[in-house]
Amino acid sequence: MLGDEYIYQEMLEQEKIVSLQQTLPPLEWPVPSHRVFITGSGDSYCAALFGQWVMKERGQVFGLPALEASQAAQNFQPGDTLIGISVSGHTARVLEAAKRALAAGAQVVAITDNLCSPLAELASSIWPIYASPQDELRNTKYTDACAKQYVGYHHDVAQTKTFWAVLLTLVRASEIELDWHLLLEHTRTLLSPTFYDPLFNKANFWAESRQTFFLGSGWAKIAARFASYKMCEFNRLSLFAGMEEYCHTLYFITRSKDTVVLLISDEDTAARAMEIVPVLCEFFDARIIWLQPEISYSEHTPSKTDYGVEVVNIPASSQPLQQFLDSFLALKWLTYAIGRVDAPNINTFHAGYDTERLVSGTLRTIRKSVIRTPKPKKLAKAD
């Protein structure tokens, strides 16, 4: 049954994406950059935050939401670089930021899957992600006159493989050392039935919750944000927060039998999570998913017999970058497994609820949004 679902098919393509990315030549940067601004919307904003983290050794690197990047671009200077992430290449605010950056004399790099897109056409440099067949990015299965213009994706579903390809492109751009053979090994492990079958077997139980929380700290909060976005794409209420932030705010909106996913990245977060678990279980009868590398955090690991916690292990790694990538791949399976429960049509975006009307509305507010180009700056009169 899973084999008939586009998201499942795209999940399994991610091994091929790793194999391809490790063989590609180094990415060419524009002229040396004083400052680097990375931007995108939705999933691509999560990728921008990842880019800020993975490129931190390059100097001044900022991950910004697309509207903030557009506002900031008006004050760019020659020598600045804007990296605009848009899988389809049509995101209005990313295009606006790119045009403003160019007008200010900055360089623009496009990270996109669609090499015929407006973003690719105006960029100074293009970093293709090579996730989809180019000839299939110009078509869509939508029949609504407005929705059918929503092109630029291989399948009209919640994206998984394109996000993965963007992350790996940013890793290559950062020139950070990555053990590609280890990444490929971990990817194969996480794409195997032995990993994802247990998640699908428990999905109905987790899906009964009215809302799902994803909690992390540091880089894991970026993963929590991404997972929350994915759940929303399946029409499921979801929230993300820093683990400490949750204790001080989101406790107050937690309901009985809610699902809470704890992203454990180190000993400190494991210790803090162990303080949270008893409260969640005793007061809320919460359904806890504990995602961690397959290593022992001594006494800071829950007992399933005590709390009914579901421990999901990703492959062990001492490298934060590898752990980051593994966590993202695991969260894609988790959100997909829960999100598909009771979905009327998992092969359409928004899980099939008024799909084309929702896509039409999205097209109106995103693709057809007015791009405000900057007015030419008046040159100062010569003395």
DSSP 211-222: -EEEEE-THHHH
**pLDDT grade for 298, boundaries at 50, 70 and 90:** low
Give the residues across from 111 on adjacent strands: 85, 127
- Residue-wise pLDDT for 255-276, tens only, equals 999 999 999 999 999 999 999 9
- Residue-wise pLDDT for 200-243, tens only, equals 999 999 999 989 999 999 999 999 999 999 999 998 999 999 99
Cβ atoms 119, 90 nearer than 8 A: yes
- Residue-wise pLDDT for 65-98, tens only, equals 999 999 999 999 999 999 999 999 999 999 999 9
Query: What's the distance, Cα to Cα, between the start and end of the chain in Å?
Result: 76
Q: Which CATH code of 1.10.287.3240, 3.40.50.10680, 3.40.50.720, 3.40.50.10490 fits the domain covering 208-316?
A: 3.40.50.10490
Q: In CATH, what number does 2-171+362-367 get?
A: 3.40.50.10490
Residue 50 dihedral angles phi and psi, to the nearest 5°? -60, -45
Structure tokens at 36: 């680097």
CATH topology of 2-171+362-367 equal to that of 208-316? Answer: yes
Spell out the domain ranges in the chain. 2-171+362-367, 208-316
Cβ-based neighbour number of residue 159 at 10 Å: 26
